[in-house]
Structure 1
Amino acid sequence: MPRTPVRSVIPPYILRKIIDNASGHQQDYARRTLNHVQHLMAHNWQKPVAPKNAVGGHVDREIYDAQNTESLPGTLVRKEGQPETGDVAATEAWDYLGVTYDFFWQAYQRNSLDNQGLTLRGTVHYGKDYQNAFWNGQQMVFGDGDGEIFNRFTIAIDVVAHELSHGVTETEAGLIYFEQAGALNESLSDVFGSLVKQFHRKQTADQADWIIGEGLLADGINGRGLRSMSEPGTAYDDPLLGKDPQPAHMRDYIQTRDDNGGVHLNSGIPNRAFYLAAKALGGYAWELAGRAWYDTVCDKSLPQDADFNTFAQFTIRHAQSRFNKATAQAIENAWKETGVLS
């Protein structure tokens, strides 16, 4: 059975900044989380199997409570047909798993992450003051944060959708998690994460904030979220977190061995390309630009080691074949503005 590497929402470089700049318990929490992330990245989890005879349009969810342990999945606290638990984290996880399912079904007729009705599982209250959330190929896992730097990780719908969207990319494109292909992998999760939030709020491209992780940073932290798709490099600037290091243009592309070759860093470039395309096309971003990106992810001829240029060409081609030349031209212009195409 195929195996899937873990994807976590807080990149290692943010945790390292906290370790460098914080002290006492904040430093300890960040160090413990970073060590755990590195352990997870080295672990491969079995992919789950969808239930038989899953009917499209009907989400199947399960929420578990780890009760501040690191045992997965934890105690089952809610499944379909059962009432709310009264636990805000469990309720947020439940609701946002459902919204993510509804988005993919209504926008792209996709039946869950694997398109076969996969049960969406989430575990809340993972670890003690755990500063991350992750998708391990089987389920979502949410830490509670420390309340000083990060709030609970169920608070941001785009974080939930970002992590779940890794499951879509793994099922369809299988982009390798390294350098430009890995940055595309991360960018796709930001794209669909942002689209799920926009879909939930019924926002057009003009109305959206294009922030990933809105609400995740605790009071007192100088930042709007983890990343800005509209202006990469501007999401935060804080004594503990440092300054958002994402580039927005190929001239600033970061060559590094860290972070799997900069997958969370250089994702800012395709993120901005998507934002520019969505803004130029107007209306709901999931209808034109989002559809071209989704069609590209589902194109089995997309190489697993695709670089930005290759991916860009695929999005233009799909925009032309599904829509028209004007849509394709707007997308091409966006890739040119970020320096991916000349």
Structure 2
Amino acid sequence: MKKSWKKGFALTVALTTTAFVPLAQPMSAMAKSDEVQFSKEFDTPEFIGEPFEADGLDGEDLIWSYLETYQDDFQIEGDVKEHFKLLEEVENDETNTKHYRLQEMYNGIPVFGYQQTIHVDEDGNVTSFLGQFVPNLSSDKKMSRKAKLSEEKALKQALADLEDEVGEVEEFEVEPQPEQYIYVHEGEAYLAYAIELNFLDPVPGRWMYFVDANTGDIINKYNMIDTVTGTGKGVLGDEKSFETTKQSSTSYVMRDTTRGSGIETYTTANSTRLPGTLMSDSDNYWTDGAAVDAHAYAQQTYDYYKNTHGRNSFDGNGAKIRSTVHYSRSYNNAFWNGSQMVYGDGDGRTFLPLSGALDVVAHELTHAVTERTAGLIYQNESGALNESMSDIFGAMVDDDDWLMGEDVYTPGTPGDALRSLEDPTAYGDPDHYSKRYTGSQDNGGVHTNSGINNKAAYLLAEGGTHYGVTVRGIGREDTAKIYYHALTHYLTPYSNFSAMRRAAIQAATDLFGANSEQVRSVQAAYDAVGVK
């Protein structure tokens, strides 16, 4: 019998007890193998690489049969379907594969961040499982079916705590709406409310709060607005062409209607009220460098994702991309607030106007892509992967070097940058897992520890020898394909560095074959940065 994932947790769960008969079997039978890797925290599978024959099953029938086969490993009693909800099925035409995303459920309530992905090859057989599953969720008071605390009281608790953090918030960009989840934090599982607090004043913030639905205690909180920056001609004096809209014989606006649902650029004229006023001009020759860059680079980032990865805007369905420039005064930041891009003008010393860097614009818009796909939670290792994905695709869109933000950061210091994927240590970030930051600052080192995965991506693309491991480079194009495929199909909200390695290997296998040079290089790249 497997051990409970947390000492003292009850092993009983209130579920139906219908027996099941597996309709299909793993090709390697039921014995444990190296192809089934278990979570150290929960002792449940976080990766299954054993091939699983469909035996005439497809769609949901195949998925349920597959999960039933590993039911004992997941420590599930009763009906497997009570523990998972199928969120989406995506077909990849390039690889002729199917990818399923599931959500762990407990008594009909989603378990926050605990998602799983299951992958099916062109022959209809399951090739792999990635994700995290919390077993044996107890039925004690924390896990009661009904919350003692109302949504209104939970929100009041979060707002009171937020006021201590940033001061009084009078207006929210998105109306706060508490949502009920099972929330697992530091070895405890709670019935909780998740609340997003999205605001601009007194300082921009996008805080996530988790409030105990029985006691009202704040279980966890973190701010999802990061601190990287932007691009433009603008800003650096280069001229660029971009789409606008003619409103009348003497009026043009920064609205592009040729891409998805559109790309629009606004200005707050140094206020903090979003989205501001749509940029306009009388002769269609634009002299506002920050606006020019924000608009043109948003178009360029859209084109990259559409032309390279077949993705229509950040949500995959053509969502409008809205940018606002001249936010506040001397504001040294740019951020994605969950619905749009926002750029400060910088103070001229730390930053130039932040929309002036293509890699920064692409970095921030990639946060939106990540939010709509893997949903990597912005804390600890998953948060570092979130940042790293934005750095990787910022570098891919910019495509001139492996630095981040060098065009707008510290203009008085030639060659300076925010981060380097080639050499993270040049800016104080680790380039090996053994050097990772383990403290609590910066949401658990989301910017710092991004250097580990950044270095792996650089080695994969360019090759090199690192910590005695030689990696054969496969080029930017194949590297980008692997990371995009991993991000959109394999990674889940709580993916850690080990899951990133497996996701990259599986993505390379899908795209190039199990015995390909690309797969070998992925393995070597993660060996080189100490991620197993």
The normalised TM-score by structure 2 is 0.49
Measured in 2, the distance between the counterparts of 1:57 and 1:70 equals: 27
Equivalent of 2:270 in 57, 68, 71: 68
Alpha-carbon shift at residue 102 of structure 1 (Å): 0.3
Measured in 1, the distance between the counterparts of 2:290 and 2:500 equals: 36
Alpha-carbon shift at residue 217 of structure 1 (Å): 1.9
Matched residue, 1:169: 370
Matched residue, 1:340: 531
Percentage of identical aligned residues: 39
Matched residue, 1:93: 294
Residues 39-87 of structure 1: per-residue CA shift (max 9 Å, x gap): 4446789xxxxxxxxx9965721110110011111111159xx935321
Alpha-carbon shift at residue 131 of structure 1 (Å): 0.5
Alpha-carbon shift at residue 155 of structure 1 (Å): 1.2
- Please show how residues 45-194 of structure 1 align to structure 2 within 5 Å: 58=260, 60-77=262-279, 83-194=284-395
Measured in 1, the distance between the counterparts of 2:378 and 2:304 equals: 25
Matched residue, 1:326: 517
Q: Give SS of 2:531's match.
A: coil
Alpha-carbon shift at residue 289 of structure 1 (Å): 1.1
CA contact 1:63–1:78 (8 Å) conserved in 2: no
Matched residue, 1:315: 504
Matched residue, 1:289: 479
Measured in 2, the distance between the counterparts of 1:59 and 1:96 equals: 17
CA contact 1:70–1:126 (8 Å) conserved in 2: yes
Residues 177, 125 of structure 1: alpha-carbon distance in 2 compared, 3 angstrom cutoff: same
Measured in 2, the distance between the counterparts of 1:330 and 1:293 equals: 13
Question: Which structure 2 residue ranges, 5 or more long, are not aligned?
Answer: 1-199, 209-222, 226-256, 464-471
Question: Which structure 1 residue ranges, 5 or more long, are not aligned?
Answer: 1-32, 46-54, 199-207, 235-243
Structure 2: which amino acid aligns with 1:170? Answer: E
Residues 284, 98 of structure 1: alpha-carbon distance in 2 compared, 3 angstrom cutoff: farther
Residues 291, 77 of structure 1: alpha-carbon distance in 2 compared, 3 angstrom cutoff: same
Q: Give SS of 2:526's match.
A: helix
Measured in 1, the distance between the counterparts of 2:273 and 2:448 equals: 30
Structure having the larger proportion of residues in helix? 1
Matched residue, 1:12: none
Q: Give SS of 1:63's match.
A: strand
**Further displaced range: 274-283 or 121-130:** 274-283
Structure 1: which amino acid aligns with 2:445? Answer: G
Equivalent of 1:227 in 419, 444, 452: 419
CA contact 1:131–1:146 (8 Å) conserved in 2: yes
Matched residue, 2:409: 217
Structure 1: which amino acid aligns with 2:504? Answer: T
Structure 1: which amino acid aligns with 2:391? Answer: D
Matched residue, 2:447: 264
Alpha-carbon shift at residue 169 of structure 1 (Å): 0.4
Structure 1: which amino acid aligns with 2:408? Answer: L
Alpha-carbon shift at residue 158 of structure 1 (Å): 0.3
Matched residue, 1:250: 433
Q: Give SS of 1:251's match.
A: helix
Structure 2: which amino acid aligns with 1:252? Answer: K
Measured in 2, the distance between the counterparts of 1:283 and 1:329 equals: 10
The normalised TM-score by structure 1 is 0.76
| Structure with bigger gyration radius | 2
Matched residue, 2:494: 305
Residues 44, 284 of structure 1: alpha-carbon distance in 2 compared, 3 angstrom cutoff: closer
Measured in 2, the distance between the counterparts of 1:170 and 1:185 equals: 9
- The size of the alignment, in residue pairs, is 278
